[in-house]
Amino acid sequence: MTQAREWAAGVWTDEQRSEERTSSAGGKTPGTGPLTSERSEPIQHREPVSHTLVVLGGSDHTAGTYQRAAKLGYRTIAVDPRPSVELADEYLTISTRAPERIAAALPDRSDIVGVLCPGNDVGLAARAFLTRHWKLADRLPESAVVPSVDKAEFRRVCTRLGLPGYGWASGRPGPDVLDQARHLRYPAVVKPVDGSGSRGVAPCAGPAGLPRAFTEALAHSPTGRVLVEEFVGGTPLTVEALVLAGAVIFHAVSERTLTPPPFFVTSSHLLPAALPPEADAALVDTLTAVCAEIGYRRGPLTVDAVLGHDGLLYPIDLSVRTGGNGLPEAIESAYGVDVAGAAVAFAAGEDVPCEPRPPRPTLVRLLSSDRAGTMTGIEGAAEVRAMPEVIDLQLFTEPGSRVEPFERADRKLGQVVFSGGSVATLRAAESAVRATLRFRLAEQDLPVPLP
């Protein structure tokens, strides 16, 4: 039986895979270090084999979750129609949008103790269904899923709570939405209501550009709805938080760098972000209020926000999961808090100790290409891993792979996590990596310029 046919069969185990299994990270494999800082109480390991986690998503970018689960003594089942991660114990080649099919494929599995959905929103509805279906300890409420997968619903949550906001209009493209959108302040941004990963996001300089922006957004909306938002100028931020009993027990704020319009894709995160003390205090109050409003009592939380030029913090998007783009690894480096391990413990209904240390400057740089082509070689990876400031290098491509321009978050070639004594040290190391790491494409046999 070929590997492709084994995948099509549905569930298959790690023993059926090739014996030569290697992580795409290589070298300093992420997640193999201590789960918490020296000051943190370690999350307790469970006996292996007897407890299993279902992980909704099996891309290379979810590797950290599988590694953390294994270190904590859990078996994992990767649910993904085209899994690429090679760290799970079983594989279920079903869409994460089909919870009934997932449940039917895993009958009478008393070993399943939790469900995770790391780094993307697509499987959140399935996670809510499955945690109820299997009567698990950590059940995700539907009231928390809706604002995570529907950007317009999150705007309504912010409005009800009286949070700093901006004008917006949403619905199926037509006369009513066009009329509402024409009354907004421009420039604006048009998005699919239910999109993720910067897919279908289009800037709009004025009302005349709305029809074209609607067409772009609709191509990435399963429900055929769009959201038009007034553009908020300021510093883009990402907030990663842990919530227990409705209270925020930990939060970390990173300053995001975005690619220029028209795509607005995150290209780096710098921790800790330089927030004014009053803004940080307001942030905790905001997160607590939002969690109460959506009925979210425990688990990881990721929020995109903007610190406006007026000093106010504007929430943009929310999701009840861990973030992606190397943030779990960066947060562990910066604060000594293992958010990936905490998400695993939450999902299994376990206790989650959290004792952060004073933050150490940390930077995540996403690796990408500005052009399409076929990868022929990667040079300098060993030299990069040997740099003292580089604590993690993951590569999501290999020779022979197709490369696309970095117009969406899922097109990154890899990620580098830096740690150092100052931001200046991090920037110098970032420049050194840019000069050392080279991705070559067949079409021109020249290194791709790194961002």
Q: Residues 277, 187: one domain? A: no
Q: Which of 209, 230, 251 marks a domain boundary?
A: 230
Q: Residues 126, 170: one domain? A: no
Helix (H) or strand (E) holding 363: strand 362-367
pLDDT band at 48 (very low <50, low <70, confident <90, very high): very low
CATH number at residue 122: 3.40.50.20
Q: Is 249 helix (H, G, I), strand (E, B) or coil?
A: strand
Q: Residues 242, 350: one domain? A: yes
Contact between 115 and 344 (Cβ < 8 Å): no
Q: Residues 65, 15: one domain? A: yes
If one counts the domains in the chain, the total is 3
Model confidence at 28: pLDDT above 80: no
Q: Which tens digit of pLDDT belongs to each residue from 391-438?
A: 999 998 999 999 998 877 788 899 999 999 999 999 999 999 999 999
**Within-domain flag for 150:** no
Q: Residues 34, 108: one domain? A: yes
Q: Residues 25, 95: one domain? A: yes
CA dist 97 and 234 (Å) reads: 35
Helices 142-149 & 151-161 angle (0-180, nearest 10): 110
**Within-domain flag for 393:** yes
Q: Residues 335, 292: one domain? A: yes
pTM for the structure as a whole: 0.84
**Within-domain flag for 447:** no
Q: Which tens digit of pLDDT belongs to each residue from 366-382?
A: 999 888 999 999 999 99
DSSP state of 196: -
Q: Residues 281, 429: one domain? A: yes
Model confidence at 220: pLDDT above 80: yes
Q: Residues 416, 366: one domain? A: yes
Report residue 191 CA to chain centroid gap. Answer: 18
**DSSP output for 372-413:** -EEEEEEESHHHHHTSTTEEEEEE---TT-EE--SSSGGG--
Q: Which of 215, 230, 245 marks a domain boundary?
A: 230
CA dist 367 and 84 (Å) reads: 19
Q: Residues 379, 418: one domain? A: yes
Provide φ and ψ at 15, rounded to 5°. -65, -20
Considering only CA atoms, give the Rg of the chain: 21
Average pLDDT score, the chain: 86
Q: Which of 203, 230, 257 marks a domain boundary?
A: 230
CATH number at residue 334: 3.30.470.20
Question: What is the domain range of residue 34?
Answer: 3-140
Q: Name which of 26-35, 57-66, 273-282, 411-420 the model is least confident about.
A: 26-35
According to DSSP, the residues that pair with 115 across neighbouring strands are 54
Q: Residues 375, 420: one domain? A: yes
> Which pLDDT score, from 0 to 100, does residue 76 have?
97
CATH number at residue 207: 3.30.1490.20
User: Measured at the alpha carbon of residue 68, what is the angle toward residues 62 and 72, in degrees to the nearest 5?
Assistant: 150
